[in-house]
């Protein structure tokens, strides 16, 4: 199952995946501007990047994606990856795509790969534990809008 970096021609597919993910999560307040997203991903000063997964022999079909940006740990003194979204389309779940996407991210850094997950996501928790990922104890995530 091939995994590759997204390219500018993939913006429409990336936006469709984001919209599908939002619908799956029951989030109907999604604010998404395709031109703006293209600039954030592929403009002169990109702010994020995407890795896409495809079924073997079907490069025209996107099974899922990881939406990421770089972060930096002063404690480790090295860059890591913040994964904002990991989404695999329902028909491709339990086929190894999420694992391959995460392995690809881990191969890109010797620092941390971090993400957040909804508290009540039991399937996600079980999946991440099978990979050896652990919740970060003692930390509360804040957001300032």
φ, ψ (nearest 5 deg) of residue 115? -160, 175
Number of domains into which the chain is organized? 1
pLDDT tier at 118, thresholds 50, 70, 90: confident
Residue 19 belongs to a domain with what CATH number? 3.40.630.30
Residue 138: inside a domain, yes or no? no
Helix (H, G, I), strand (E, B) or coil at 88: strand
Which DSSP string do the residues of 4-25 spell out, in sequence order?
Answer: EE--GGGHHHHHHHHHHHHHHT
Residue corresponding to tokens 């329902």: 90
Residue 100: inside a domain, yes or no? yes
Give the predicted TM-score (pTM) of the model.
Answer: 0.91
- What are the pLDDT digits (tens) for 22-64? 999 888 889 899 999 999 999 999 999 999 999 988 888 999 9
Residue 137: inside a domain, yes or no? no
Catalytic residues: 128
pLDDT tier at 144, thresholds 50, 70, 90: confident
Cβ–Cβ < 8 Å for 83, 64? no
pLDDT tier at 67, thresholds 50, 70, 90: very high
What pLDDT does 50 receive?
98
Residue 144: inside a domain, yes or no? no
Residue 79: inside a domain, yes or no? yes
Residue 106: inside a domain, yes or no? yes
Q: How far apart are CA 40 and CA 29, in angstroms?
A: 20
What pLDDT does 43 receive?
96
Residue 121: inside a domain, yes or no? yes
Residue 136: inside a domain, yes or no? no
Q: How many alpha carbons lie under 13 Å from residue 35 in its C-beta half-sphere?
A: 0
Domain span holding position 64: 3-131
């Amino acid at each position: 199952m091939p995994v590759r970096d997204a390219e500018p021609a993939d913006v429409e597919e990336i936006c469709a995946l984001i919209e599908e993910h939002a619908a799956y999560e029951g989030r109907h307040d999604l604010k998404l501007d395709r031109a703006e997203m293209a600039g954030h991903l592929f403009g002169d000063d990109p702010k994020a990047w995407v890795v896409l997964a495809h079924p073997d022999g079907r490069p025209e079909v996107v099974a899922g994606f990881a939406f990421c940006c770089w972060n930096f740990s002063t404690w480790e003194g090295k860059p890591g990856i913040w994964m904002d979204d990991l989404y695999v389309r329902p028909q491709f779940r339990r086929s190894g795509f999420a694992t391959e996407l995460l392995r690809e991210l881990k191969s890109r850094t010797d620092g941390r790969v971090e993400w957040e997950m909804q508290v009540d996501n039991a399937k996600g928790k079980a999946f991440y534990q099978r990979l050896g990922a652990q919740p970060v104890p003692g930390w509360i995530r804040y957001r300032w809008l």
